[in-house]
């Protein structure tokens, strides 16, 4: 039986995620695996604004090419890095169970919370979404742009004199750094990125392997991911736009989808919320509410701003 080759980025977090999926494949599907590390354009463009060069899709392009060209059989992505449209011929064939989707505050002064930080303190983040929501919530804080992997960002907390950094809870948990989290910020306070905390297993569409890998999918995670990505797709969004969405199951079986679109300075903030059974339709309905409240004009302003 052939060994399944798993394409992944080479960061510590990406490798931890790929190894977790590999262990699931070996246990549940009884297939041997090996990792193929791929350096993406996003990894090479350190210190440069990704928005001007294609956004978060830069972390995916070369990995998808490895699968399409047959150098790998499948790929493991952080789902929040996936663009709204996948490369033709590929599909997400499994959505494993979601890790904590919330954002995490990591403070230099242990035990601090977002609401208890002193006025004027410096918070680092590499996310326009986080930056916009933080500015809207606490305009008295100084938001400092921050790039690099999880370990690098934690090191910059001290090296660059920051008072706190905001990262994804999921990444810290998967790297065994959960004890470094000072606050798991409620989704009612800061809405997460689309599919944050979710892994996406991608393979060639309609392949026998893809059907086998579907056994690794978690139904609730899949519904939430499809709803949140429908929100993203309906807005034609990417990482140039401070947008967020979070889908959660309700006791009656329906999904609740909350979405947000903001100006980068956080002064304009549009929200939408929809409830429904169909994941894609519900995500799109939340996005349509935002468009009807001026979202189309705001998106155009954001595109002009990104092009400068």
pLDDT tens for 191-224 read 999 999 999 999 999 899 999 999 999 999 999 9
Q: Taking all residues of the chain, what is their mean pLDDT, rounded to a whole number?
A: 92
**Residue 240 has what pLDDT?**
65
Strands 142-145 and 122-125: parallel
**Residue 121: per-residue pLDDT:** 95
Q: What residue spans of the chain are helical by DSSP H?
A: 12-24, 41-44, 61-68, 128-137, 150-159, 169-174, 208-213, 219-234, 279-290, 296-307
In a domain, 225, yes or no: no
**Domain with 274 in it:** 233-307
Q: What is the pLDDT of residues 29-77, one digit of tens each?
A: 999 999 999 987 666 555 544 445 445 567 798 999 999 999 999 999 9
For position 50, which CATH number holds?
3.40.190.10
Residue 110 φ/ψ region, left for φ over 0, alpha for ψ in the -120 to 50 degree band, beta for the rest: beta
Domain assignment present for residue 151? The answer is yes
Whether 79 and 111 map to the same domain: the answer is: no
Beta-bridge partner residues of 203:
91
- Claim to verify: residue 277 and residue 243 sit in the same structural domain: yes
Indicate whether 192 belongs to any domain: no
- pLDDT at position 260 is 98
Number of domains making up the chain? 3
Which burial class, exposed, middle or buried, applies to 147 when counting CB atoms under 10 A from its CB (0-12, 13-18, 19+)?
middle
Statement to judge: residues 108 and 179 lie in one domain: yes
Q: In this structure, are 23 and 87 located in the same domain? A: yes
pTM strictly above 0.85: yes
Does residue 90 sit in the same domain as residue 203? yes
Q: Which residue has the higher pLDDT, 39 or 179?
A: 179
Predicted pLDDT at 99: 98
Same domain, 91 and 207: yes
Read off φ and ψ for residue 202, nearest 5 degrees: -110, 140
CATH of the domain at 293: 3.30.160.40
**Which pLDDT tens digit goes with each residue over 89-122?**
999 999 999 999 999 999 998 999 999 999 999 9
* Domain contains 191: no
Q: Report whether 46 contacts 229 (CB < 8 A).
A: no
Query: What DSSP character marks residue 141?
Result: S
Residue 53 has a pLDDT of 46
In this prediction, residue 308 has a pLDDT band, given cuts at 50, 70 and 90, of: confident
The side-by-side arrangement of strands in the sheet containing 90-94 is: 33-37, 4-8, 74-78, 199-204, 90-94
The first and second tokens of residue 114, run together, are 């977002």
Res 158: pLDDT: 85
Active site residues: 81
Q: Is 34 among the domain residues?
A: yes
Q: Name, in order, each residue with C-beta under 8 angstroms of 210's C-beta and a sequence gap of 6 or more.
A: 91, 93, 203, 204
pLDDT digits (tens, 9 = 90+) for 239-285: 568 999 999 999 999 999 999 999 999 999 999 999 999 999 999 99
Share of the chain above pLDDT 90, in %: 83
202 and 82 share a domain? yes
Structure tokens, 260: 């947000």
DSSP letter, residue 118: P
Residue 33: beta bridge partners?
Answer: 4
Strand 199-204 and strand 243-249: pairing?
unpaired
For 115-171, the pLDDT digits (tens) are 999 999 999 999 999 999 999 999 999 999 998 889 999 999 988 889 999 999 999
Confidence (pLDDT) at 45: 53
CA-closest candidate to residue 134, choices 163, 173, 176: 163
């Amino acid at each position: 039986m052939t060994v399944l080759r798993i394409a992944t980025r080479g960061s510590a977090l990406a490798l931890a995620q790929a190894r977790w999926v590999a262990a699931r494949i070996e246990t549940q599907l009884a297939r041997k695996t090996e990792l193929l590390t791929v350096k993406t354009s996003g990894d090479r463009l350190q210190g440069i604004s990704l928005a001007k060069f294609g956004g978060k899709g830069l972390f995916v392009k070369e990995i998808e090419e490895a699968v399409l060209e047959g150098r790998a059989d499948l790929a493991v992505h952080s789902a929040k890095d996936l663009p709204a449209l996948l490369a033709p011929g590929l599909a997400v064939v499994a959505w494993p169970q979601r890790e904590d989707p919330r954002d995490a505050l990591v403070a230099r002064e242990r035990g601090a919370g977002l609401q208890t930080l002193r006025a004027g303190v410096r918070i680092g983040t590499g996310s326009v979404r986080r930056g916009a929501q933080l500015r809207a919530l606490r305009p008295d804080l100084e938001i400092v742009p921050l790039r690099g992997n999880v370990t690098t960002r934690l090191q910059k907390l001290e090296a660059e004199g920051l008072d706190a950094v905001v990262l994804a809870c999921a990444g810290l948990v998967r790297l065994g750094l959960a004890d470094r989290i000072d606050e798991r910020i409620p989704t009612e306070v800061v809405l997460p990125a689309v599919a944050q905390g979710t892994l996406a297993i991608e393979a060639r569409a309609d392949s026998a392997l893809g059907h086998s890998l579907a056994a690794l999918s978690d139904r609730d995670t899949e519904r939430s991911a499809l709803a949140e990505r429908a929100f993203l797709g309906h807005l034609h969004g990417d990482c140039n736009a401070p947008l967020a969405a979070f889908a959660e199951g309700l006791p009656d079986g329906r999904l609740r989808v909350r979405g947000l679109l903001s100006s980068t300075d956080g002064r304009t903030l549009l929200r939408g919320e929809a409830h429904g059974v169909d994941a894609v339709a519900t995500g799109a309905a939340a996005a349509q509410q935002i468009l009807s409240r001026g979202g189309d004009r705001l998106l155009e302003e954001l595109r002009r701003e990104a092009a400068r």
